[in-house]
C-alpha cells in the first residue's frame, strides 16, 4: 500500500473514499465535517439522517460508517467520530480505532484509495504529532495484516504546519 501526505482540500481529492472527521450526530458541523457536507450537497445530510436511524444516540467514538459521496469526486464518504480530548477522551486506542475502522469500511466497499484528514487534531484537542503517530501506525498495521485491495492511503491536511508534522513523523518511522 502506498502512503502519501499532502497539503490541500480533502473534498477535491479524486480517490474512492474520503474520511470525514464527523461529530457523533453525523449532521454536519465545522472544520472538515462542514466542508465535506457543503461540497457533497444536501443529499449527504439526508443519507446521514438515514444512517442516524441505526445510531439514535449518535455514532460511537472510534466507529465508522459510509455514505455515498454525492457531488464529491470521491464515490464514498466514510464518517468516523474521533475522541475529544476536551471531553476526557484521551485514549490513543480510541483514535487508532477511527483509522482502523475507516480502513475496514473502505476495504469492504472495494475502495482502492482513501484519503484521511487529521482526525481529532484541532478543535478536539489532540496534538498533531500524536495524531500522526497513531494514524501512521494504524495504517501500517492494517497494511501488514490485510490491506484487502487498498492501494493508496492519503493524508490530506489543511495546514502547512500539520502537513510538516505528518511528514516528519512518517520520515522518522521509515528510518
Q: Which residues contact 73 (CB under 8 A, 6 or more apart)?
A: 12, 13, 14, 15
Answer positive or negative: Cα dihedral of 33, 31, 60, 58.
negative
Residue recorded with cell 469526486: 73
Helix locations, 41-127, DSSP H? 42-52, 92-109
DSSP 160: H
List 9, 14, 16, 33, catalytic entry? 33
Q: Is 143 a catalytic residue?
A: no
**Burial letters for 80-99: b for 16+ Cβ neighbours within 10 Å, e otherwise?**
bbbbbbeeebeeeebbbbbb
Q: Which sequence positions are flagged as catalytic?
A: 33
Amino acid at each position: 500500500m502506498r502512503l502519501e501526505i499532502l497539503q490541500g482540500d480533502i473534498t477535491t481529492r479524486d480517490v474512492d473514499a474520503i474520511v470525514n472527521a464527523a461529530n457523533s450526530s453525523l449532521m454536519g458541523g465545522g472544520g472538515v465535517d462542514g466542508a465535506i457536507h457543503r461540497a457533497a450537497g444536501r443529499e449527504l445530510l439526508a443519507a446521514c439522517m438515514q444512517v442516524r436511524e441505526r445510531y439514535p444516540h449518535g455514532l460511537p467514538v472510534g466507529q465508522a460508517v459510509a455514505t455515498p459521496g454525492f457531488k464529491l469526486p470521491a464515490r464514498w464518504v466514510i464518517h468516523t467520530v474521533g475522541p475529544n480530548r476536551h471531553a476526557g477522551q484521551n485514549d490513543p486506542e480510541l483514535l487508532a480505532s477511527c483509522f482502523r475502522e475507516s480502513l475496514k469500511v473502505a476495504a469492504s466497499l472495494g475502495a482502492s484509495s482513501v484519503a484521511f484528514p487529521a482526525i481529532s487534531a484541532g478543535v478536539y484537542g489532540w496534538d498533531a504529532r500524536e495524531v500522526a503517530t497513531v494514524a501512521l501506525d494504524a495504517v501500517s498495521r492494517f497494511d501488514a495484516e490485510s490491506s484487502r485491495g487498498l492501494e493508496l492511503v492519503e493524508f490530506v491536511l489543511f495546514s502547512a504546519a500539520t502537513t510538516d508534522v505528518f511528514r516528519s513523523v512518517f520520515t522518522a518511522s521509515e528510518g
